[in-house]
Structure 1
Amino acid sequence: MIILAFFLGHWYLSVLMQTLFLHRYAAHQMFTMSKGWEKVFYVLTFIGQGSSFLSPRAYGIMHRLHHAYADTENDPHSPKYSDNMMDMMWKTRQFYNDILNNRDSIPAKFKKGVPNWQWMERFGDRWMVRVAWGTVYTLFYIQFATSPWLFLLLPVHYLMGPVHGAIINWCAHLYGYTNFKVNDTAKNLLPFDFLMMGESYHNNHHKFGGRPNFGGFRWHEFDPAYPLLLLLNKVGVIKLRLGRDEAYM
């Protein structure tokens, strides 16, 4: 039970920070926050993703390109132009690293307003830091795992951020249902998103790239991250930018 709780805690904290900070804030600017709170969210993302920490700056830029060029040759991650999931994720990794290391020629409009705490971006990407996180996960399993089979979960811990990205960018472009006609293959992966904190409503999101609530178009579509955004807005941590549903950056 301890291992299951640890795995689920890591899963949901990681996907929560990915959907709130990397996706809805860094990429789409669905809300604003102070520089102080931005650094708090950087740290929370570092804790949540751990060994698979993703640069908010690189993620934001890359995801904007995904919306601008979805399912074309210029899409950083499209199943349509990949042989399989691993091929797509390898291409995504190369694209991400080019942005991270300033080897790209991406137009400036895609980089406007993305967060960029350079120290944390560099620190979180260090291999020694990633190995340290992986060591913590491994030692926890050595201490508390009650079966050798449980150690099969460790690779998911090590690669949690990319695992979440693969689920949406591969599966949600191949499987699911659609509410809206869009110029790409984005689908709503799950009728009730118990797994990805609203990210599974990918067709809804591709139709309304600036809408903070990814669900809400059918009775069963509940976006768990949206009430949290409303709470953070109410207490003054963030300020939602409403009325820009079709603006993706």
Structure 2
Amino acid sequence: MQQLLMIEDDARLAQMVGEYLERSGFGVTQALDAKGGLALLHEPANGRLPDLVILDLMLPDLDGLEVCRRIRAMPSEAARVPILMLTAKGDPMDRIVGLEIGADDYLPKPFEPRELLARIRAVLRRRSETAAPPAARRMQFGSLEIDRDARSVTIAGEHRELTSYQFDLLVALADRAGRVLTRDQIMEAVRGRELEAFDRSIDVHMGRIRAAIEADVKNPKRILTVRGVGYVFAKQQD
């Protein structure tokens, strides 16, 4: 059974959503504040990290964005746990900032439990899918190496940090190196949610990926923007 950690200070909402997710086949652990949630990641129950964290943006003791930063900075596997952030009022800036600091997806409040469930399943599916043929498990582009099995990215042997979703986006592009992809095609390749009107999430994630793998973000050599169309992953690299 896949385990979820829900960090949400609204006890009534947490209980309602938790019961719904448990009926849908998940195990759910709840924390009503940031301190409790971070403690469960530092020292997980039964030694098992959650498969995904549902993180509320507005917490009584610490801003959800700061919690996200702290999770991504943890010196353990906890740093790689997918994060789905709940953003009050659906503020676009909250969404963008959340994605920039490492959240894998976001859902504005109020939300339908069914949509939350669908997004959780999509994030976990992206994380677990390993359908590539054996020969393509590890991809090399100059000094850049992408290891599907380890879900790691290195440049000249140096590890580069990406969220689970960003890793899947990079793999989707690398699998189609030299081919220009629209944003819709990229989203479809990772089987994520459909693009919403004026949704900049792909662009935000691409910026984070470039920050991790490009020597010069302002003059990228690996992931190129094709104005008015989308992105292309360069076949020939350093």
Q: TM-score per shorter chain, which class? A: under 0.3
Query: Of Structure 1 and Structure 2, which has the larger fraction of its residues in strand?
Result: 2
Between 1 and 2, higher relative CO (CA 8 Å, sep ≥ 6) is seen in: 1
TM-score between both structures, scaled by the size of structure 1: 0.25
TM-score between both structures, scaled by the size of structure 2: 0.26
Query: Of Structure 1 and Structure 2, which has the larger fraction of its residues in helix?
Result: 1
